[in-house]
Amino acid sequence: MRQKKRILKKTLVLGLAATFTAGVMTGCGSSSSSGTDASGAADSASETTTSDDGGKTLTFGCQNYGAGGIDPAVETNQAWNCMRYGIGQCLFQFDDTMQVQPWLCDSYEVSDDHKTWTFHIREGVKFSDGCDMTAQSVADSFKRLFTDGESGSSAPEKYLEKEAAITADDAAGTVTIVTQTAYPDLTKNLAYPVMAIVDVADTQDYAHGTIGTGPYVAKEYTEEVGYTLTANENYWDGEVPYDSVELLYMGDASAKAMALKSGQVDLVENITTVSDLEELEADENYTVTIANGVRCGFAYINQGGILGNKDLREAVIQAVDEKTMCETTVGGLYTYGFSVLPSNLAYNYDKLSNPFEYNQEEAKAKLDAAGIVDSDGDGIRELDGENISLKFITYENRALSTFAEGTQQLLAEIGIGVEVNNMDSESEWNEMVNGNYDLCSSNWTTVGTGDPTEYLDNWYGKSTANYCGYENEEYDKLYEQLLVELDDAKRTELITQMQQVLVDDAAVLVHGYYNSSMISSKAVANANIHTADYYWLTTEITPAN
């Protein structure tokens, strides 16, 4: 039975990508502690005790994103991995309404000008090596982001300015951050996985052995296979339900379903093959949980290519029946919507208007009126004397390739050619950065810090993240106001206006809003999927018996 749940407890997490971790450290601030080598970690992992029926070992099949690693400072995917795998935690976390809640911090104060933030660090928290998490260790973890992280792509400055003065008072148990910029709510930024607190004093190998405060410890990595995780014996927030977790990389949705049905794994995330998901939902031996998420599935529109023509952009959007694709083609994995922010967020979706609702006849008439016609009778319209053939790059995840193929079929009906190139996510990213596309699949967490400012930066004309080349003077002005506005109501109004600008300018081909899922066998209890998908394997997930 499909269970739609909105649950927030202490969410601790497990995640993605690959590497091999160091053994338990004992230095607690000294440089004398050292990580184990591969054979040592394997031996340590093999000593994990499990019950005769395997009830203390969980096998989890999941997608591996990026090149791997668990260092929050180096690359965003690695930061998500560190948190999703239950290795790292932040000062704050998000509940299932995307409101921020205390985690490693239990209280804080902020000055009237929103530039001085003082955080009281929760007492009794230990890193997985047994060392105390102190105010100084938290400050050191933040400072490291702006040294070790500079050569990577985690971009910590998106969440905390480099100029911030960070000081610790161990006696008071506080960390004070003084910024030059006024932050509307810095606690939300500090809940983002890049800001996970790690043990700088004793971690020897961040890429493969980051030491955090979460319930699990990475013990062994097998390239292209996955991780062996073991319980953190020093975990601060209750019992860790599994002695070990075998985390297996499974990129193909059907492979996940097959592994679950064959008993190879106990738990998987995000099966996106409709027939597989429906079969598992109908089988009493499995539990499927669905969360109305905050991800938007969409295609970037490259403004520097042929789709710089606004008449053509408008016709493309109007000719694609996203509603039917959301509800039928991908079997409800997405909730239909036409704006870049999901309709379940408090950003006035119901006040927005859509001038390009699905209507292929109107799309054809628009193209005809603009002189974008099929002059030689080959079934493909021309622009500037050339047949239109849009390059749509996509990848196999969250049904994005299905939307790309559906778009290809629907645009053919109005005389627009589309070439779909299905590739891995890293290759697609590189093609996008280099501008080698007309349409580019994407699936974004829209409020990664509990706020859409970073996400909306994708269309800001002065942003280095604006890989679609979009420029709109009104949008840029609104965005710059958003960056300095502290009042919540005024921020919401600015965000509402920005959404409407993007809709009116036919700036984005929005598919809909992704609904995340977690599917477990009857051996597993409480395998809930959270709205913020930084939280996969948590201490909520336990053996059923």
pLDDT tens digit string along 64-74? 876 678 899 98
Asked if residue 468 and residue 354 are part of one domain, the reply reads yes
pLDDT of residue 153: 63
Residue indicated by tokens 């039975």: 1
What span, in angstroms and rounded, lies between the C-alpha atoms of 481 and 461? 14
Give yes or no: residues 380 and 405 share one domain.
yes
Query: Residue 57 above 80 pLDDT?
Result: yes
Q: What's the pLDDT score for residue 273?
A: 83
d(CA 473, CA 175): 40
Same domain, 64 and 165: yes
Q: What is the tens place of the pLDDT at every residue in 202-219? A: 988 888 889 999 999 999
CB neighbours (10 Å) of residue 348? 17
pLDDT at residue 222, as a whole number: 87
Is residue 271 included in any domain, yes or no?
no
Separation between Cα atoms, residue 201 and residue 195, nearest integer Å? 17
What is the reported pLDDT for 69? 83
What DSSP designation does 122 have?
A: P
| Residue type at 322 in one-letter notation | E
pLDDT of residue 17: 33
DSSP states of 155-208 as a string? -GGGTS-TT-EEEEETTTTEEEEE-SSPPS-HHHHTTSGGG-B--TTT-S-HHH
Q: Would you say 186 and 160 are in contact if contact means Cβ atoms under 8 Å apart? A: yes
- The answer to whether residues 364 and 511 belong to one domain is yes
Provide the number of structural domains found in the chain: 2
pLDDT at 200 over 80: yes
pLDDT of residue 151: 55
My answer on whether 196 and 329 are in the same domain is no
pLDDT range class, residue 376, cuts 50, 70, 90 = very high
Q: Which of 254, 283, 282 is nearest to 270 (CA)?
A: 254
Residues 17 and 56 in one domain: yes
List the domain range (segments joined by +) for residue 230.
2-259+522-543
Q: How far apart are CA 374 and CA 108, in angstroms?
A: 64
CA distances from 311 to 374, 385, 418, 457 (A): 15, 16, 17, 25
pLDDT tens-digit map of 58-98: 999 998 876 678 899 988 888 999 999 999 999 999 998 89
Tell me, what's the pLDDT at 132? 97
> Do 253 and 311 sit in the same domain of this protein?
no
* 134 and 70 belong to one structural domain: yes
Task: Output the pLDDT for position 29.
Answer: 66
Residue 350: band (very low, low, confident or very high) from pLDDT cuts 50, 70, 90: very high
Helix or strand holding residue 120 (H, E): strand 116-121
Q: 293 falls in which pLDDT band (50, 70, 90)?
A: confident
Q: Do 301 and 313 contact (CB within 8 A), yes or no?
A: yes
pLDDT-derived band at 150, boundaries 50, 70, 90: low
The reply to whether 269 falls in a domain is no
Residues 230 and 364 in one domain: no
Is 451 domain-assigned? yes
Q: Give the pLDDT confidence of 489-523 residue by residue, as tens digits.
A: 999 999 999 999 999 999 999 999 999 899 999 99
Residue 417 neighbours by CB distance under 10 Å: 15
Q: Tell whether the torsion through CA atoms of 323, 356, 471 and 162 is positive or negative.
A: negative
Q: Residue 196: which of 218, 213, 179, 208 has the closest Cα?
A: 213
pLDDT band at 155 (very low <50, low <70, confident <90, very high): confident
Whether 7 shows a pLDDT value over 60: the answer reads no
Q: Are residues 245 and 318 in the same domain?
A: no
Q: What pLDDT, on the 0 to 100 scale, is given for residue 292?
A: 82
Is the model's pLDDT at 471 over the cut of 70? yes
- Residue 272: band (very low, low, confident or very high) from pLDDT cuts 50, 70, 90: confident
CATH value at residue 195: 3.40.190.10
Q: What is the pLDDT of residue 8?
A: 27
Range scoring the smallest mean pLDDT among 311-320, 387-396, 424-433? 424-433
* Gyration radius (Cα) of the chain, Å: 24
537 lies in the same domain as 388: no
Structure-token pair, residue 241: 């339900």
Q: Does the pLDDT at position 545 exceed 50? A: yes
pLDDT of residue 38: 27
What is the model's pLDDT at position 396?
Answer: 81
**Please, is 178 exposed, middle or buried when counting C-beta atoms within 10 Å of its C-beta (0-12, 13-18, 19+)?**
middle
CA dihedral 107, 113, 114, 119 (to 10 degrees): -30
Is the pLDDT at 478 greater than 90? The verdict is yes
**pLDDT at res. 251:** 76
Tokens matching residue 171? 């006696």
* Chain segment 128-137, per-residue pLDDT in tens: 999 999 999 9
Q: How confident is the model at residue 283 (pLDDT cuts 50, 70, 90)?
A: very high
